[in-house]
Each structure stands twice: as structure tokens, then as C-alpha cells.
């Protein structure tokens, strides 16, 4: 019994059981046909047919059993899935409720934050706009003053634009140097606008050339030979550029006069050298006169110094260093005198010295 139970219950013996049962049924059928003395062909045919029917019936029974098993499993799976979907729907509803609550709280907090940010932004924008308006008003006021002045507005605007091109990516040395130059020019314009005097330590180059290029009426200059000739001014690059600027002034119709005062050590220059310098300037259209204080007239020493009058509005003056040895003098200080009464004194001194000087005849 135990063997038969094992034989019909073990799933691993399904195929052998089907084969054995089919063979058994076919054998019984063959035995019956043989006992009934049927022809051999019918016995074999009937045996095969009955065996096949037996095998098909077993397969159909096995398929039906499997189908029922699958349907039952499907039903259980469907029930479990529906239960899981119901739990999931409940969880989703709870999560949605929690999410809605959290979103409402977050929205309220966000609205408050946005309101704070908008308020702060509005305050910053208002402060920035107010600052910009103050800057615009200041810039408008400054450019209004420039328009009202006699300076060229385009030149001032170009200066500001060029200053704005000094960007932070330039080397610190370049930025520092540019700042120094802007400060120097600003101080120069401040002193120039004061209408008194502007001082430069040492020998200036740009003032003298710029004044000669902008003179519109006259240039009256006193040249002390002990300073200009001894220092070699007229043979230097600066002297050549200054003469060129004066020749351009003469071409514009400016009256240029130079009075050479023979003061200083005669050994520092020769008469031939003096004659050559006088001739060059005479050939450039400059009126040249020569004054020897020892011969022409007794002149106070305080009137004998280097200065140049430009349009009788400004006096360009240099102060040489004292001479204690045979070395040529150098320029200690350069200044622009704009005070009207001092300029008037220079004009009167030049006219008197020019009157008593002799005309240079090449």
C-alpha cells in the first residue's frame, strides 16, 4: 500500500505512470482481442487506439487539474492584489493629505519669505535708484559747469572715458600710476583755476610746449644766457621742440619776441655760438634783441631772470640752482604765474628791457 501511495503521489513519476497505465490498458486490449481470436491487424489497431485514448484522457485530466490550480492561484493573487491596492489607496490618501498640509504650510512660509525678500529688494532698489539719481545729478551739475566753462566739452568727456578704461584686470602698478597721474592733473587744474600760480619742482617740458602751441597773440621771452646757453637748452631735444612750436606760432600770426640778456660767465659760451643761436631764431621768424646790462643801462638785478609771457596773460618762469663751481646750472623750480598784478609787473619789465636792448642784425 505504501508503495502504491508513493507510486501515485510522487510528481516525479507522472510520466512513467502515464506510460505504464497506457501500456497496461493497451496490453489488456491486446489480450482481449487475442482471446476473442480477432485478426492480428485488428488486435494491433485496437490496442494502439485504446492505448492512445487512455493517454489522451490522462493528459486532459492532467491539463484540467493544472488549469484549476492556475485559476485558484490567479484568484488568490487577484484577491491579494486588490487588498494591496486598497491598502495602497488608503496610504496614498493619507500621504496626499499630509502632503497637502505640508504644501499649505510651505506655501505660507514661502509667501512670507517672498514678501520679506521683495520688501528688502524694493528697499535696495529704492536706495540704489536714489544713489544713482544723486550721481546723475552730480554728473549733470559737473558737466553743466564744464559746458559753462571755456574748456572743450568733448575733451573733458574723452578724459573721463579714458579714465574709465582703466580696468581692475590691469596690473596694480599700471592702476596706481594712472591714479597718480589723474591726481596730478586734478591738482594742476585746481591750481591753474585758482588764478594765482602753479609750481613744478624741476624742469618742466609739457607746460612750455603746450603754451607755445596754444598762444594766440604773443610770446615775449627773456633768455638769460648764463642759464639757457650754459645749460645747452637750444642744442637739446627740448630746445629744438620749443623752437619748432614757436615757429608754428609765428605761422599762425603770433608775434614772438625773445630778448637775450648777456648775464653769466662768458667762458661758458662763445660769441660765435651766441651768433649762431640768434641767427637760427631770427630765421624762424622770431624777433631777437640782445641786452648787455654792463653796456646799455644799469638794470636792477631782480628784473633779470628767465620768464616768458604768453598772450600777456600768463608768465612762465624758471628758477635756476645757484652756481658754486664750474658746473652748468640746472632748473630748480618751474612756475606759472597767473596773478594779474604780477603778470602786469612782468609785462612792464619786459617792455622796458626790450626798449633799451639792441636789435640783432644777422
CB 326 within 8 A of CB 305: no
Question: ∠257-261-262 over CA atoms, to 5°?
Answer: 145
From residue 254, give the alpha-carbon distance in Å to each of 206, 257, 311, 314, 353.
20, 10, 9, 15, 21
Cell of 110: 514661502
C-alpha–C-alpha distance, residues 67 and 13, integer Å: 20
The Cβ of residue 31 has, within 10 Å, a number of other Cβ atoms equal to 12
Burial of 227 (0-12, 13-18, 19+ CB in 10 A): buried
In order of 57, 263, 348, the CA distances from 345 in angstroms are 147, 21, 5
Bridge partners of residue 288, in order along the sequence: 258
**What pLDDT shows up at residue 286?**
94
The predicted model scores a pTM of 0.56
Give me the residues paired with residue 319 across strands: 333
Cell triple for 12: 516525479
> Rounded to an integer, what distance in angstroms lies between the CA atom of residue 362 and that of residue 347?
27
- Report in angstroms the alpha-carbon separations of 159 from 46, 144, 182: 124, 16, 10
What is the per-residue pLDDT for 93? 79
**Interatomic CA distance for residues 178 and 244, integer angstroms:** 30
Tell me which residues of the chain have a pLDDT lower than 70. 1-18, 20-21, 25-26, 29-30, 34, 37-38, 42-43, 46, 51, 55-56, 58, 63, 106, 133, 135-140, 142-156, 159, 191, 195, 230-231, 264-269, 295-303, 322-329
CA dihedral 7, 12, 13, 16 (to 10 degrees): -170
Q: What is the pLDDT of residue 288?
A: 94
Burial of 98 (0-12, 13-18, 19+ CB in 10 A): exposed
Query: Residue length, the chain?
Result: 362
**What sections of the chain are H helices per DSSP?**
2-9, 14-35, 40-148, 153-164, 172-193, 206-214, 225-231, 237-251, 271-283, 340-356
pLDDT computed for residue 354 by the predictor: 93
Which cell numbers hold the place of 142? Answer: 559737473
Buried b (16+ CB within 10 A) or exposed e, 103-122: eeeeeeeeeeeeeeeeeeee
Amino acid at each position: 500500500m505504501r508503495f502504491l501511495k508513493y507510486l501515485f503521489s510522487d510528481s516525479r513519476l507522472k510520466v512513467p505512470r502515464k506510460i505504464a497505465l497506457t501500456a497496461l490498458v493497451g496490453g489488456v486490449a491486446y489480450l482481449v482481442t487475442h482471446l476473442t481470436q480477432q485478426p492480428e491487424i485488428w488486435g494491433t489497431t485496437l490496442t494502439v487506439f485504446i492505448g492512445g485514448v487512455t493517454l489522451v484522457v490522462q493528459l486532459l485530466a492532467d491539463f484540467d487539474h493544472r488549469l484549476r490550480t492556475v485559476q485558484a492561484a490567479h484568484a488568490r493573487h487577484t484577491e491579494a492584489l486588490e487588498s494591496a491596492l486598497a491598502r495602497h489607496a488608503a496610504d496614498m490618501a493619507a500621504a496626499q493629505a499630509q502632503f497637502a498640509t505640508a504644501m499649505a504650510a510651505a506655501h505660507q512660509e514661502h509667501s512670507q519669505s517672498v514678501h520679506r525678500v521683495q520688501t528688502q529688494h524694493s528697499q535696495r532698489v529704492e536706495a540704489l535708484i536714489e544713489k544713482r539719481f544723486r550721481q546723475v545729478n552730480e554728473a549733470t551739475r559737473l558737466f553743466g559747469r564744464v559746458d559753462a566753462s571755456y574748456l572743450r566739452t568733448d575733451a573733458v568727456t574723452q578724459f573721463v572715458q579714458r579714465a574709465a578704461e582703466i580696468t581692475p584686470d590691469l596690473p596694480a602698478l599700471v592702476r596706481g600710476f594712472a591714479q597718480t597721474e589723474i591726481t596730478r592733473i586734478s591738482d594742476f587744474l585746481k591750481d591753474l583755476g585758482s588764478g594765482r600760480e602753479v609750481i613744478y619742482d624741476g624742469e618742466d617740458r609739457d607746460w612750455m610746449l603746450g603754451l607755445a602751441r596754444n598762444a594766440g597773440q604773443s610770446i615775449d621771452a627773456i633768455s638769460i644766457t648764463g642759464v639757457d646757453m650754459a645749460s645747452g637748452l637750444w642744442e637739446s631735444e627740448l630746445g629744438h621742440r620749443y623752437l619748432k612750436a614757436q615757429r608754428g606760432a609765428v605761422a599762425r600770426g603770433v608775434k614772438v619776441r625773445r630778448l637775450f640778456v648777456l648775464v653769466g660767465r662768458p667762458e661758458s659760451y662763445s660769441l660765435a655760438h651766441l651768433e649762431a643761436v640768434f641767427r637760427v631764431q631770427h630765421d624762424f621768424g622770431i624777433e631777437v634783441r640782445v641786452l648787455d646790462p654792463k653796456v646799455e643801462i644799469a638794470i636792477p638785478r631782480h628784473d633779470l631772470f628767465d620768464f616768458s609771457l604768453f598772450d600777456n596773460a600768463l608768465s612762465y618762469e624758471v628758477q635756476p640752482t645757484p652756481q658754486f663751481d664750474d658746473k652748468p646750472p640746472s632748473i630748480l623750480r618751474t612756475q606759472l604765474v597767473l596773478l594779474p598784478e604780477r603778470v602786469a609787473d612782468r609785462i612792464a619789465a619786459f617792455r622796458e628791457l626790450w626798449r633799451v636792448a639792441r636789435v640783432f642784425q644777422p
